[in-house]
Amino acid sequence: MDGQVAARHSGPMQTSGAHQVVPQVLDAELVRAQYSPAATYLNTASTGLLPARAVAAVRDAVAGMAEGRANDSLFGDVEEARAAFARIAGVPVSRVATGSSVATYTGLIAASLPAGAEVLTAEGEFSSTVNPFHVRRDLKVRTVPLEALPDAVRPSTALVAVSAAQSADGRVADVAALRAVTREHGARLYVDVSQAAGWYPLAAHAAEADFLASVAFKWLTCPRGVAFFVCPADREGFDALTPAFAGWVAGENPWDSCYGPVAELAHSARRFDESQGLVAYAGARHALAVIEELGPDAIRAHDLALAARFRAGLAGLGHEPVPAPDSPIVSVPGLGAKQPELEKIGLQLSDRAGNLRASFHLYNTPADVDRLLDALSG
């Protein structure tokens, strides 16, 4: 791995003098030990690669089920994963619920809104972030361009729902501006960080948002079937959410909540837990540990440097990507049709709405970028 972006660094950011900061760089040895792409994989915005630790844990969990070994211990993996996501997000673990889908938690929020409430969303937003609001026919859903969201909030707006980074093209929402204007108008803010968690300084979003949700199989490199939800910190917002899908795992004492109505729901965000896919969470706790060891700041610097390299190369080829300079997702209009031929030569990318979407993550290198540029210049 290229030394410019992958030199070993295992400690926190160091300060030298009043204004100098030594940037974190990625631990190349750890990356090589955990991630093994078989091709030039530039498609994390669709699915992240699993680290070796997670693969081993999933295999062991499946083998245990096949052999009849007790799997109650896997519930401990759920709690370890919950705690890891809480640390990454910079929130108390009591605010984090575990499940399998962002759409489930969007639906939970949608169900909490009163009839006639206005929900403001961005054009072209990922469906899991917005569709449950549309399904409720008694809500007023208003849609505007992403950049216009802060100016579109008005006194009648009850909720703004937006992805931190857009799935289609990587554009990053101005969450701080949205937080300021929603507070001004007494609205709530819901942020889907599925395309941000793992490379973005997530604690900033978690501090700004009333609700936050994320799948973990993209930039957090977990198995599919893992999702997290951060509920409101204030009592009013917490109590406004009805745990409509609560089962036994949502009880304050789950093993005492297996039969009949749950006598006592969890006092924390666990009351919003779905019954978890334990095999997926067996891998998730280890994948999240790798993300924590590498450090989101180091991952962010690495990912953005590769994306900037690609954008510079595209300019030399006469192509102009969708403007998103602060994102590791690069979407190039008009090149989506090239995706099948690129796949044939071992370059994994996506075609989204006619755009060629490349997404650069911790297991990518400058050589990967250059190979893609060479193929596009061919």
Run of H or E residues at 357: strand 355-359
Q: What is the pLDDT of residue 71?
A: 76
* pLDDT tens digit sequence for 164-173: 999 999 999 9
| 296 closest CA partner among 87, 44, 17 | 87
* pLDDT tens digit sequence for 219-271: 999 999 999 999 999 999 999 999 999 999 999 999 999 999 999 999 999 99
32: pLDDT strictly greater than 70: yes
The architecture that CATH gives domain 3-51+294-377 is Alpha-Beta Complex (3.90)
- Position of tokens 């959410």? 241
Q: Does domain 66-292 sit in CATH 3.30.413.10?
A: no
- Locate the DSSP E strands across 145-260: 157-163, 188-192, 211-215, 227-230
Q: How many CB atoms lie under 10 A from the CB of residue 290?
A: 23
Look over the chain and give the mean of its residue pLDDT values, rounded to a whole number. Answer: 92
Residue 228 pairs with which residues in a beta bridge?
98, 214
19: pLDDT strictly greater than 70: no
- Report which residue type is found at 355: N
Q: What is the pLDDT of residue 353?
A: 85
- Report which residue type is found at 49: L
Residue 23 — very low, low, confident or very high, per pLDDT cuts 50/70/90? Answer: low
- Report which residue type is found at 13: M
The dihedrals phi and psi of 91, each to the nearest 5 degrees, come to -125, 160
Whole-structure pTM value:
0.92
Domain boundaries, the chain: 3-51+294-377, 66-292
157-163 and 188-192 strand pairing: parallel
Average pLDDT over residues 163-185: 97
* pLDDT tens digit sequence for 344-374: 999 999 999 899 999 999 999 999 999 999 9
Q: Give the range among 16-30, 80-94, 189-203 with minimum mean pLDDT.
A: 16-30
